[in-house]
Each structure stands twice: as structure tokens, then as C-alpha cells.
Amino acid sequence: MRRTRVLIGLAVLIGLVGGGVYVARSRPAAEQSQQPQRARDPGFGVILAIRTLERSAETRLSPEQVAAILPFVKALKDVPPTDQAGEIIAGAVRKTFTPAQRTALEEARRQFQSRQRSGGVRAGSGGDDGGSGAPAGAPRGPTEISDEQRAQLRARTFERMIRYLERRTQ
């Protein structure tokens, strides 16, 4: 039961972060060429990895890891998603993970990709209303939010993770 919830939570998070992949695939090629592919945000990757590891007692971050990672997450919050410094900081965070944690993250990634290939994971799916989980007439996907809204979402996500990690250090 717990493992199922972990996998569902992981799938939802990955779906939200990487939702543009599904949306991009569902649009005609001419429409795709009009909008350049947005680069992945290494900061969201770090947050997703931390959330994935924290869901299981076997892979949970140690207090020492939390103390080492917290300054990096605070720094990532202020680094624009397109800045190469984000990749460097994200790499430093990944270096703090144990081999068992890296294996768990790799397994979670493989499971997600397998489910995505089989059609079991779709970005935004979550309700009986046609798949978006949003009220009728609401924007239908990650590409339909403004850059300002995306920046606000990113800031809130980082703030929540920072608060969580700070509570773990106490």
C-alpha cells in the first residue's frame, strides 16, 4: 500500500515537472516548431530527487545529508533555470547521495519511463473530466501558463522544500 502511494506520488511529481513532454508529443509538428523546447530545470530535478528519497525510510536523507544539501537548495532557488550554475549545483547535491540512494532514484526513473512508454502516465491526468484534473475552461497544460506564473510556482516549490529541510535539521 505504501509503495503504491510512493509510486503514485512520484509519477504525479514527475508528470508535473516533465509535463511538457506529453503536451509537446500531442501537438502537430508545425505547432511544435513554433515554440522552442524548454530546457529542463536542474533545480526541479533536485527537489524531485529529494522528495523521492524522503518517501522511503530506507532511502531517507541522513541529518548530515540534509545539512549539506540545504545550502545548495537555497542557492538553486535564486539561480535561473537556464543558468549553467544550476547544473553544477545540482551535481553537487547528487554527489551527497549514497550509492543506495542513487540506485533507488535510478529505479524510480526506470519505472516512470516504463509506465510513460506504456501509456500509464500522462501529464496532468488526475480526474474524470477529460484528464486535466482542472475545472472546465481552465488552462489545460504546463505550456499554457505564463512565464511569470511558472516563476511563482518555482519559487513556492523551492520555499516549501527549504522549509521542509530546515525542519529536518532541527
Is residue 29 domain-resident?
yes
Give per-residue pLDDT as tens, 68-111. 999 999 999 999 998 999 999 999 999 999 999 999 999 999 99
Closest Cα to residue 44, out of 76, 71, 12?
Answer: 76
Is residue 132 domain-resident?
no
Closest Cα to residue 139, out of 30, 39, 149, 44?
Answer: 149
- Residue 109 CA: distances (Å) to CA of 33, 49, 104, 154, 159: 28, 10, 9, 22, 25
Is residue 94 domain-resident?
yes
Arithmetic mean of pLDDT over the chain: 77
pLDDT value at residue 125: 47
pLDDT value at residue 4: 53
Is residue 148 domain-resident?
yes
Domain count along the chain: 1
Is residue 129 domain-resident?
no
Domain that holds residue 45: 2-123+142-169
**If you average pLDDT over residues 51-55, what whole number do you get?**
95
Is residue 130 domain-resident?
no
Give per-residue pLDDT as tens, 111-152. 999 998 888 655 554 444 444 444 455 545 555 788 899 899
